[in-house]
């Protein structure tokens, strides 16, 4: 385990060997190896830039490119052998192997003017930008399912809640579109985030910049970046792109968790508005009758883990003095876990929603005439009575119904008139849930046309970006 100092990258100055636990504590190869292909790509682009400025000959560059082709193949075929205790991270591992393949004389020139500090930042950004494309795709899929279901299930009417108390009738689609509204904001945010992630730090050196005048614009172009990090100190010392990714995912998972919580409630025996597909539920090892919404509970639970990682990384970064410090290596693991957790969660949510069965008859059964008390007040508003007064009158009708121990719509016309003379025969038409939802036709409301307009807005948001 204890290796000779001379084998290490910075071996020249160091005389003692590392404490074996320090070796383990320091190394990141077991997680940053996921960046193997980005590391190779970045190295080739960097070598090309160093060919244009005369550091490498064309032949040397060709050898480096050929050697990296072999190294890359080894990774892809699972044949790359990590040397425990020697390969500290993906950058040292790739360079060590390149030296074995093409010889140290040429491989030893690769790192001229470069540092692992600009290298790791480049690898992470290259990796993340592709991951963000994938996550955006998953989010688009979820939104497509919401829009499609909202259209298909538009007839279903259910209680809308405030304070988890039955408030007013709404369309089930309207409930789904509340989350589409949150998720389309998340979509806009990830699209914006990508523009900040996709900046090239390569050529910043250890911190002060590159002394061989490498053409950073050419490197960025070759790697498909949209531009450069414009200050070399920031280029190596910045993990805002990771923090922002974790903040983005935390906001998304906050929405996801509320969505899951709603569906957990709606799938309970007391509500029975929805039935989860078997593919996303599990049984109990003890109680044969149980069907548990584990998928939704995990979505809710994993949101906590995601927030924790975000907060943890911000704690790690906040006290770091300027430019690169090893603390920044602590940004890698939360990022990897975050991207996986959010990606899995989006796919699970899409699966849950596309297989969910709704039970519109139970939604209807949960509606009660008192939920139309506002509609009753609005009836008198349309006859010119001030709302503050109609609110009071409608409250008296609610009280009367309670006293008579009857649902509001079972009171006789005479009883309604005893509360207020201005009620006319057609007042009984107020007690109609379909009519109630159709009345709310202003933009953003729960009427059919207003809901259809929201669906169109979601579809339009999906078309933007990419």
Residue numbers at the binding site for ligand ARG (CB under 6 A): 28, 32, 89, 116-117, 120, 324, 326, 328-329, 332
User: How near is the Cβ of 89 to ligand ARG at its closest, in Å?
Assistant: 4
Q: How far apart are alpha carbons 90 and 92 in whole angstroms?
A: 6
Query: From the CB of 206, what's the least distance to ligand ARG, in Å?
Result: 7
Nearest approach, Cβ of 322 to ligand ARG (angstroms)?
A: 14
**Identity of the residue, 26 or 396, whose beta carbon is nearer to ligand ARG in the bound complex:** 26
Smallest gap, in angstroms, from Cβ of residue 117 to ligand ARG? 5
Q: Residue 171 forms beta bridges with which residues?
A: 157
Find the catalytic residue in 6, 37, 163, 441: 163
Residue 227 to residue 219: CA distance in whole angstroms: 10
Comparing CB distances to ligand ARG, the nearer of 116 and 125 is 116
Question: Cα-Cα-Cα-Cα dihedral of 179, 180, 183, 189, to 10°?
Answer: -140
Beta carbon nearer to ligand ARG, 35 or 280: 35
- The verdict on whether 174 is a catalytic residue reads no
Which of 318, 382 has the CB closer to ligand ARG?
Answer: 318
Minimum distance from residue 191 beta carbon to ligand ARG (Å)? 27
- Is 163 part of the annotated catalytic residue set? yes
**Pair of tokens at residue 465:** 């970006």
Considering the complex, state which of residue 49 and residue 93 has its C-beta at the smaller distance from ligand ARG: 93
Query: Are the C-beta atoms of 375 and 170 separated by less than 8 Å?
Result: no
Rounded to 5°, angle at Cα 370 from 366 and 374: 120
Whether the Cβ atoms of residue 423 and residue 416 lie closer than 8 Å to each other: yes
For 172, other C-beta atoms within 10 Å of its C-beta total 24
Minimal distance, residue 28 CB to ligand ARG, in Å:
4
* Least gap, CB of 339 to ligand ARG (angstroms): 16
Q: Of residues 268, 284, 412, 449, which has the active-site annotation?
A: 284
Indicate the pairing of strand 165-171 with strand 157-162. Answer: antiparallel
Tokens 């593919």 -> residue: 279
Between 28 and 131, CB nearer to ligand ARG: 28
Identity of the residue, 329 or 341, whose beta carbon is nearer to ligand ARG in the bound complex: 329
Contacts of 52 (CB under 8 A, 6+ apart): 214, 215, 218
State the Cα–Cα distance between residues 2 and 395, nearest whole angstrom. 82
User: What per-residue string of b and e applies to 41-77 under the rule 16 or more CB within 10 Å gives b?
Assistant: bbbbbbbbbbbeeebbeeebbebbbebbeebbeebee
Taking alpha carbons only, the member of 86, 106, 93 closest to residue 33 is 93
Q: Which residues are catalytic?
A: 163, 284
């Amino acid at each position: 385990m204890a290796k000779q100092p001379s084998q290490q990258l910075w071996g020249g100055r160091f005389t003692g060997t590392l404490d074996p636990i320090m070796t383990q504590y320091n190394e990141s190869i077991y997680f940053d190896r996921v960046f193997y292909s980005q590391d190779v790509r970045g190295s080739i682009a960097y070598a090309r830039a160093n060919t244009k400025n005369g550091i490498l000959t064309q032949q040397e560059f060709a050898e480096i490119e050929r050697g990296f082709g072999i190294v890359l193949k080894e990774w892809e075929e699972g044949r790359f052998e990590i040397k425990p205790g020697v390969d500290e991270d993906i950058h040292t591992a790739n360079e060590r192997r390149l030296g074995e393949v093409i010889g140290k004389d040429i491989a030893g020139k690769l790192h001229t003017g470069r540092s692992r500090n600009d290298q790791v930042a480049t690898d992470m950004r290259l990796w993340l930008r592709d991951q963000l494309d994938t996550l955006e795709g998953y989010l688009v899929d979820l939104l497509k399912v919401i829009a499609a279901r909202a259209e298909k299930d538009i007839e279903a009417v259910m209680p809308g809640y405030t304070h988890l108390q039955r408030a007013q009738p709404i369309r089930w689609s309207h409930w789904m579109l509340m989350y589409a509204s949150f998720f389309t904001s998340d979509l806009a945010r990830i699209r914006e985030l990508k523009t900040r992630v996709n900046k090239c730090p390569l050529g910043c050196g250890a911190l002060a910049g590159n002394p061989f005048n490498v053409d950073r614009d050419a490197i960025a172009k070759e790697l498909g970046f949209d531009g450069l990090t414009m200050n070399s100190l920031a280029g190596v010392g910045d993990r805002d792109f990771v923090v922002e990714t974790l903040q983005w995912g935390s906001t998304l998972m906050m929405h996801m968790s509320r969505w899951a919580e709603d569906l957990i409630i709606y799938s309970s025996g007391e509500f029975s508005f929805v039935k989860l597909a078997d593919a996303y539920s599990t049984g109990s090892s003890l109680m044969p009758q149980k069907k548990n919404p584990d998928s939704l509970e995990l979505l809710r639970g994993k949101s906590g883990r995601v927030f924790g990682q975000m907060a943890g990384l911000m704690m790690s970064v906040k006290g770091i003095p300027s430019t690169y410090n090893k603390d920044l290596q602590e940004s890698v693991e939360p990022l990897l876990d975050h991207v996986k957790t959010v990606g899995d969660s989006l796919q699970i949510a899409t699966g849950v929603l596309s297989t969910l069965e709704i039970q519109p008859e139970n939604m209807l059964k949960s509606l009660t005439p008192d939920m139309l008390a506002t509609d009753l007040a609005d009836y008198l508003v349309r006859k010119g009575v001030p709302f503050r007064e109609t609110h009071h009158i409608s409250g008296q009708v609610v009280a009367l119904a309670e006293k008579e121990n009857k649902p509001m719509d079972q009171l006789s016309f005479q009883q309604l008139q005893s509360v207020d003379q201005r009620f006319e025969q057609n007042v009984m038409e107020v007690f109609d849930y379909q009519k109630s939802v159709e009345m709310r036709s202003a933009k953003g409301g729960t009427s059919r046309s207003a809901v259809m307009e929201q669906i169109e807005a979601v579809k339009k948001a999906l078309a933007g970006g990419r």
